[in-house]
Structure 1
């Protein structure tokens, strides 16, 4: 397992991040899986207060109690506030809410601090300076070590790069979603801000799932991309390893966030870290297999 410094922070993150959103409700099974992941080198575990009405944070907190706190990195997210009747959630990036939400997350996670606290979205209509003020206050209080955002909106990302001290941006990236290459990756690299890449296998469409429309791509185009992944995999890698390696070899990416629910998922993720790297020729062929897409909105 390789580790990368996350932007300007002191966090050394494993190149694979354990995406906890996929976890079930069996705390014992989750603890076993998370412990196995940590034993194999994964040190960053990503959750959010939104997932399973907070129970995802709870199961992660229980699982990590058997590991020394300083040996693991916890990432969580804030900004989506459940309605009183739990019928859905509202977007709330206000300072008052963030300061109260972090207390609930800390209780559920059974910890005194969160290593990376991320705004779970963001719009240009938000009170951005107020949001930043909340995160800065939490850093000063020692309740979080660093903060970032989870967003695919270029103009929102630009504002936070310009106005805050974010150390990371979580965003979707894969062979079927190369939109960040045009407007986000260069900016983030210029300012030494790390990228947590999610969606690396494009909902399974790159690794065997039946072709279907995805973003602006037709099912036929998706099938062509999946075929290119299979060809690049050859006999040395699996399709999953190839899709993940494609993302990990993007210079802007610090870590790939993979949804892990079973031991099989975990082994697929771990095996990608030791799979042969893609050659420049293989990368060129993959990139040529489908027209590159670009952000059409929120530019």
Structure 2
């Protein structure tokens, strides 16, 4: 397994991260086995959120890693507040809410510190200074080691780069979503802020799902992208590895968070560790398969 320091932190994160959202908390023994195998194969970054399964996802992760807590990096998120009906949620990035929520996450995760605490979204209308103040206080108190945000919005990212000490930004990035390439990735690289990629397989559309419209791409264009991935795969690199290697090629990327629910999915993802990197010709074939898209909103 390859490891990279996450931005300006001392968190040495695995190239492949484990997205916990898909784990089945009704089958805990299976989930524990999957997480244990991931750790045994070098994965040390586990990403969850207080939103997932009304907090039960954090509980599951906390139980699964209890005896290996100091060997792994726990990343969780805050900002989405469930309504009393537990059917929907509101956005709440206030200091009061963040300071209260971290206590609940610590209890559910059965730990006294969170390695990476992330704002689970964000808008330019947020009380950003107040949000940053909450994270900085939690760092001083030792309840979190570092903080970051989960966002693809250029205007939000710009504000946090200017005002905060974020060490990471989680964002969607894949062959079917190259919006971060326009400015965000190079900007974050310049400021030594690590990128945690989600959606590297584009909901499976680059791997095994039937083509459908995705973002601004038609189903036909999605098929073109998937076909390009398939053409650049073979005996030594399957389609999953090709799609993920495309993401890993960008120097701003610290880790790709892959949602894993089954042992089979874990095994397929783990093959990426040993798969050959894409060469220049292969990267060009992938890039030219479909036109690059651009993020038109949230720029100012």
TM-score bin, normalised by smaller chain: over 0.9
Kindly provide the CA deviation profile for residues 87-107 of structure 1, in whole angstroms up to 9, marking residues without a partner as x: 200000000000000000000
Query: Which shows bigger deviation, 178-187 or 140-149?
Result: 178-187
1:1-299 paired onto structure 2 within 5 Å: 1-25=1-25, 26-67=27-68, 69-299=69-299
- 1:116-165 per-residue CA deviation (whole Å, 9 max, x = no partner) reads 00000000110000000000000000000000000010100000000000
Aligned partners of 2:118 and 2:127: how far apart in 1?
16
User: Cα offset for 1:76?
Assistant: 0.1
Quote the offset at 1:237 in angstroms: 1.1
What is the rounded CA distance, in whole Å, between the counterparts of 1:260 and 1:87 in structure 2?
24
Rounded to whole Å, the distance in 2 between the matches of 1:234 and 1:14 is 25
Offset, 1:212: 0.5
Q: Bigger CA drift: 237-246 or 109-118?
A: 237-246
Bigger shift: residues 241-250 or 166-175: 241-250
SS of the residue corresponding to residue 232 of structure 2 reads helix
Which runs of 5 or more structure 2 residues have no equivalent in the other structure?
Answer: none
- Unaligned 5+ segments in structure 1 are none
Give the distance between the partners of 1:49 and 1:183, measured in 2 at CA: 30
Distance 1:142 1:269 in 2: 33
State the TM-score, normalized to the length of structure 1.
0.99
Q: Distance in 1 between matches of 2:208 and 2:266?
A: 18
**Deviation, structure 1 residue 42:** 0.2
- Could you tell me how far apart the structure 2 residues matched to 1:28 and 1:252 are? 36
Structure 1 CA distance for aligned equivalents of residues 16 and 183 of structure 2: 24
Given that 1:27 and 1:62 are in contact with CA atoms closer than 8 Å, whether structure 2 keeps it comes out as no
Q: Distance in 1 between matches of 2:209 and 2:239?
A: 11
Provide the secondary structure at the position in 1 that maps to 2:67. coil
TM-score by length of 2: 0.98
Q: Distance in 2 between matches of 1:38 and 1:293?
A: 36
Give 1:235 shift.
3.0
| Structure 1 vs Structure 2 CA RMSD | 0.7
Give 1:66 deviation, angstroms.
Answer: 2.3
Deviant stretches of 4+, over 6 Å? none
Report the Cα offset of residue 84 of structure 1: 1.1
Partners of 1:112 and 1:27 lie apart in 2 by: 23
Query: How far off its partner does 1:234 sit?
Result: 2.8
Shift of residue 115, structure 1, vs aligned partner: 0.1
Q: Distance in 2 between matches of 1:247 and 1:60?
A: 26
